[in-house]
Chains A and B, each alone.
Chain A
């Protein structure tokens, strides 16, 4: 598949010359007067993301000069595909450092969600640099596009069934097996909490169990929250809170994207992906506040708020995940508003069963410009989730640190024996930045993939 924003052949490419601020002045001194004058007169200061077209004598574009940030290969040029003239093909100079990151940023910046209307323009094309691993970049950006598409698709077209279809489609290209447990069978197969949250919807809840890789390879299990739409249930959200709730399956989109990266790069692991896919709806049979649900693990949970449903479906999925004692369990979820209040849109909160593991993930994310910030599992806060009637409540009795409370809740279903990472992510860009268009995104997914690469041997250029 040809990747949007890239030219396979590089035919007709003009040079894309990258200059950083520090090197601008001396570089200009070496240029023909015509070029140097043009850049000076047009106020080019090599600020990251800015560019100038250099005219040829016949008025054609002879060259593009763009500002780069030596600290940020990934995003510095990611705005160019949609700001350079349409139809232009550009080629990096041979040997430009960071070519692979530049390509990935370029690809992310070429992304358009065009399911419901055609793109306003085609991205300018970058000729594949010789030293970029084309297959790897393609794998990464196809996964990013997959994740973004899933999040951006409105809930009407992205219910539990469609989320299953997305997983099945991903599996088709590989040797992955997908088992799906639907509706009533969730009760017989031991996923009562998933069923309880999803039962009020006309679109039946499902559990996706996706397996890939050699059976004897190290087992890694990813769990993604797949709430295809979150009305809040009987504790109905208000309009402002409900508006973006098509994105509440962002965790599922993230783990499917990671799975795509893992499979395309043939990482030597046994991968399992568990996605509880539900629609948190209001109906006569909807789960009620103060209902008590017996979970897969046997722990009884009291529903403090039907809008804290993500942790409920994850509880069963995490319990299932640890049953086969994988080396590592990672869950990703658009779980709490508190994580956003704390960290804003850019920084998913992450929690680790031990500090070193959380640091490993944060380091991997920092290296790949997919940052996360670690938070503590504060033992002293467990008491705030006590239930009068059941083993635990689903929410805390105070308005603080809900992301920590949610992580503490999940920890009960993971237990002490399995190394575990929990990522509370936003899966949305509230405003556009280079390479990150406004709308759905998969913050944290590339960090997770990098962690897996570092652990399980895939060579990385960092």
Chain B
């Protein structure tokens, strides 16, 4: 990765980056020169979270960067440095770290060096870090590059990221891993019984698709990921207003997150049989667009009344989930930028998740917390099933409310998941509204690092 320099590299001009905890600052000060100590005091640097301080040497160059960290170390401790330190500079981590800590520091560095430069060159190259010898750099690289791929997919405007391009992104991760990829496109979706995906995507001149990737030992436990790939969501005939439509290039954020997670799993060779299902559509307006109160007979046979054409994500997911259950996976995860209600519930930074298995839910929450990729469980509240009853069909795709829009969306999906399949549904923002260390403003894959840790713990390392 561009943000790292090989650990064999020696550069006596490298800027020394020294992580210190609030508690460890005194110890560092006791060993610092009088001049450095004064500098730290003058700047009131107290190693509070996300702060760093550059310290000059006698010639006025940056000798050391003190950067606040915590114990245990936060992944994002160094996240601001690649962009904040001088362009093109090379940095070296100072201190003794265990593998976990060094790996976290390196991952945070990598995540903070991300720039989306497809349409405009970087004004400034990020600073580079000499790979810390203790860090597991293969892991850092696999995770960071997978996240970069996901961020790129979300950041790319819909004009350049339609259903075809999204499917090509799946091919891009399939090829190096020798995964099998099947793509069903356009009319074939009807012939192969994915009527709901077709109905949502048919109004676009860019035909809908389903990408179906499989990888790994066929006898290994089956882990299936499903990602919502609405490449642009105009709302359909229930057209969104301008404010609601503006960010809708990100409505394939679930697909991007699922692709990123699949990429991590394959690159780090987790001992699972992975399946990735990406329904990729553009929800457009046209003469043949599906309409409010149309009824669609889904792949599973359940009839769905269209209460609102802008509740299209759950529609394309329902065929994919039904197909996912056909081989009874050991673990089924879907990720989707599904509802505004989930944002009202938990804010943009914390994905809501729903789960039909309490132990799995507890594990998901724990791994999310442990990897600083927080998620929060909301209930599949049975009493709200009446909110998705159809008038003339079995169910309706728009909850009647009042409220609980994220829950009713999850209850809709639940209908397409077979009993006995451990399933978790993530309703994510897919976007950082503002930049934070290691998490630049813009497209973001969410819940994925926590899920990778969970899957690794559940099935073992590669």
The reply on A381 being an interface residue by CB < 8 A is yes
B25-33, B179-187, B262-270, B378-386 - interface stretch: B378-386
- Using CB atoms and an 8 Å cutoff, list the residues of chain A in contact with chain B: 338, 340-347, 373, 375-376, 378, 380-381, 398-402, 404, 430
- Using CB atoms and an 8 Å cutoff, list the residues of chain B in contact with chain A: 341, 343-350, 374, 376, 378-379, 381, 383-384, 387, 401-407, 433
Measured in the bound complex, the distance between the Cα atoms of B346 and A346 in whole Å is: 18
A376 touches B376 (CB 8 A): yes
A340 touches B348 (CB 8 A): no
Measured in the bound complex, the distance between the Cα atoms of B403 and A342 in whole Å is: 6
Q: How many A-B residue pairs have CB under 8 A?
A: 74
Query: Contacts A376-B350, A378-B350, A404-B346 known; A341 to B341 CB distance under 8 Å?
Result: yes
Measured in the bound complex, the distance between the Cα atoms of B384 and A342 in whole Å is: 13
Measured in the bound complex, the distance between the Cα atoms of B403 and A381 in whole Å is: 23
A346 touches B384 (CB 8 A): yes
A400 touches B401 (CB 8 A): no
A-B contact pairs, 12 of them (CB 8 A): A341-B345, A341-B403, A342-B345, A342-B378, A344-B381, A344-B404, A344-B407, A347-B379, A347-B404, A376-B374, A400-B343, A400-B347
Among the listed B350, B376, B403, which residue makes an inter-chain contact with A345, where contact means beta carbons less than 8 Å apart?
B403
Q: Which 3 A-B pairs have the closest CB atoms?
A: A344-B404, A342-B345, A401-B347
Q: Which of A376, A401, A402 has the most CB of B within 10 A?
A: A401
Query: Contacts A344-B381, A347-B379 known; A338 to B402 CB distance under 8 Å?
Result: no
Interchain nearest-CB distance for B94 vs A (Å): 29
Which B residues are in CB contact (< 8 Å) with A338? 344-345
Measured in the bound complex, the distance between the Cα atoms of B381 and A345 in whole Å is: 11
Interchain nearest-CB distance for A350 vs B (Å): 13
Measured in the bound complex, the distance between the Cα atoms of B244 and A399 in whole Å is: 13
Which A residues are in CB contact (< 8 Å) with B346? 342, 375-376, 378, 400-401, 404
Interchain nearest-CB distance for A432 vs B (Å): 13
Which B residues are in CB contact (< 8 Å) with A373? 378-379
Interchain nearest-CB distance for B369 vs A (Å): 10
Which B residues are in CB contact (< 8 Å) with A345? 402-404
A430 touches B402 (CB 8 A): yes
Measured in the bound complex, the distance between the Cα atoms of B401 and A345 in whole Å is: 9
Which B residues are in CB contact (< 8 Å) with A402? 344
Measured in the bound complex, the distance between the Cα atoms of B140 and A218 in whole Å is: 53
Measured in the bound complex, the distance between the Cα atoms of B344 and A399 in whole Å is: 7
Q: Is chain A's binding surface mostly helix, strand, loop or mixed?
A: loop
Interchain nearest-CB distance for B177 vs A (Å): 35
Which A residues are in CB contact (< 8 Å) with B344? 338, 341-342, 399-402
Measured in the bound complex, the distance between the Cα atoms of B439 and A380 in whole Å is: 14
Query: Contacts A378-B347, A400-B344 known; A343 to B405 CB distance under 8 Å?
Result: no
With both beta carbons as reference points, the residue of chain A lying nearest to B384 in the complex is identified as A344
Interchain nearest-CB distance for B352 vs A (Å): 9
Query: Contacts A342-B341, A344-B401, A346-B384 known; A400 to B348 CB distance under 8 Å?
Result: yes
Which A residues are in CB contact (< 8 Å) with B381? 344, 346-347
B376 touches A375 (CB 8 A): yes
Which A residues are in CB contact (< 8 Å) with B348? 398, 400
Which B residues are in CB contact (< 8 Å) with A430? 402
Measured in the bound complex, the distance between the Cα atoms of B379 and A375 in whole Å is: 12
Which A residues are in CB contact (< 8 Å) with B345? 338, 341-343, 375, 401
Measured in the bound complex, the distance between the Cα atoms of B347 and A343 in whole Å is: 14
Which B residues are in CB contact (< 8 Å) with A342? 341, 344-346, 378, 403-404, 406
With both beta carbons as reference points, the residue of chain A lying nearest to B378 in the complex is identified as A373
Known: A342-B404, A376-B346. 9 other contacts (CB 8 A): A338-B345, A341-B341, A342-B344, A346-B384, A347-B381, A347-B404, A378-B349, A400-B344, A400-B348
Which B residues are in CB contact (< 8 Å) with A404? 346-347
Which B residues are in CB contact (< 8 Å) with A400? 343-344, 346-348
Which A residues are in CB contact (< 8 Å) with B405? 341
Which A residues are in CB contact (< 8 Å) with B403? 340-345
Measured in the bound complex, the distance between the Cα atoms of B341 and A384 in whole Å is: 19
Measured in the bound complex, the distance between the Cα atoms of B387 and A338 in whole Å is: 18
Measured in the bound complex, the distance between the Cα atoms of B400 and A345 in whole Å is: 12
Interchain nearest-CB distance for A156 vs B (Å): 26
Measured in the bound complex, the distance between the Cα atoms of B403 and A96 in whole Å is: 38
Measured in the bound complex, the distance between the Cα atoms of B345 and A108 in whole Å is: 30
With both beta carbons as reference points, the residue of chain A lying nearest to B405 in the complex is identified as A341
Interchain nearest-CB distance for A227 vs B (Å): 20
Query: Contacts A344-B384, A347-B379 known; A398 to B401 CB distance under 8 Å?
Result: no
Measured in the bound complex, the distance between the Cα atoms of B387 and A399 in whole Å is: 25
Measured in the bound complex, the distance between the Cα atoms of B378 and A346 in whole Å is: 13
Which B residues are in CB contact (< 8 Å) with A381? 347, 349
Interchain nearest-CB distance for B411 vs A (Å): 11
Measured in the bound complex, the distance between the Cα atoms of B376 and A404 in whole Å is: 13
With both beta carbons as reference points, the residue of chain B lying nearest to A344 in the complex is identified as B404
Measured in the bound complex, the distance between the Cα atoms of B433 and A401 in whole Å is: 14
Which A residues are in CB contact (< 8 Å) with B406? 342
Interchain nearest-CB distance for B252 vs A (Å): 21
Measured in the bound complex, the distance between the Cα atoms of B387 and A340 in whole Å is: 14
With both beta carbons as reference points, the residue of chain B lying nearest to A347 in the complex is identified as B381
With both beta carbons as reference points, the residue of chain B lying nearest to A400 in the complex is identified as B347
With both beta carbons as reference points, the residue of chain A lying nearest to B352 in the complex is identified as A342
Measured in the bound complex, the distance between the Cα atoms of B406 and A400 in whole Å is: 14
Which B residues are in CB contact (< 8 Å) with A378? 346-347, 349-350
Interchain nearest-CB distance for A300 vs B (Å): 23
Measured in the bound complex, the distance between the Cα atoms of B429 and A399 in whole Å is: 14
Interchain nearest-CB distance for A143 vs B (Å): 23
B402 touches A346 (CB 8 A): no
With both beta carbons as reference points, the residue of chain A lying nearest to B343 in the complex is identified as A400
Interchain nearest-CB distance for B384 vs A (Å): 6
Which B residues are in CB contact (< 8 Å) with A375? 345-346, 376
Interchain nearest-CB distance for A329 vs B (Å): 24
Measured in the bound complex, the distance between the Cα atoms of B383 and A110 in whole Å is: 22
Measured in the bound complex, the distance between the Cα atoms of B407 and A341 in whole Å is: 10
Which A residues are in CB contact (< 8 Å) with B343? 400-401
Measured in the bound complex, the distance between the Cα atoms of B343 and A381 in whole Å is: 13
Interchain nearest-CB distance for B136 vs A (Å): 28
Which A residues are in CB contact (< 8 Å) with B378? 342-343, 373
Query: Contacts A347-B379, A375-B376 known; A340 to B347 CB distance under 8 Å?
Result: no
Measured in the bound complex, the distance between the Cα atoms of B196 and A90 in whole Å is: 52
Which A residues are in CB contact (< 8 Å) with B379? 347, 373
Interchain nearest-CB distance for B192 vs A (Å): 37
With both beta carbons as reference points, the residue of chain B lying nearest to A430 in the complex is identified as B402
With both beta carbons as reference points, the residue of chain A lying nearest to B407 in the complex is identified as A344
Interchain nearest-CB distance for B424 vs A (Å): 17
B384 touches A398 (CB 8 A): no
Measured in the bound complex, the distance between the Cα atoms of B212 and A166 in whole Å is: 64
Measured in the bound complex, the distance between the Cα atoms of B350 and A380 in whole Å is: 10
A346 touches B341 (CB 8 A): no
Measured in the bound complex, the distance between the Cα atoms of B343 and A39 in whole Å is: 50
Which B residues are in CB contact (< 8 Å) with A376? 346, 350, 374, 376
B376 touches A344 (CB 8 A): no
A346 touches B383 (CB 8 A): yes
Interchain nearest-CB distance for B309 vs A (Å): 21
With both beta carbons as reference points, the residue of chain A lying nearest to B401 in the complex is identified as A344
Measured in the bound complex, the distance between the Cα atoms of B378 and A401 in whole Å is: 14
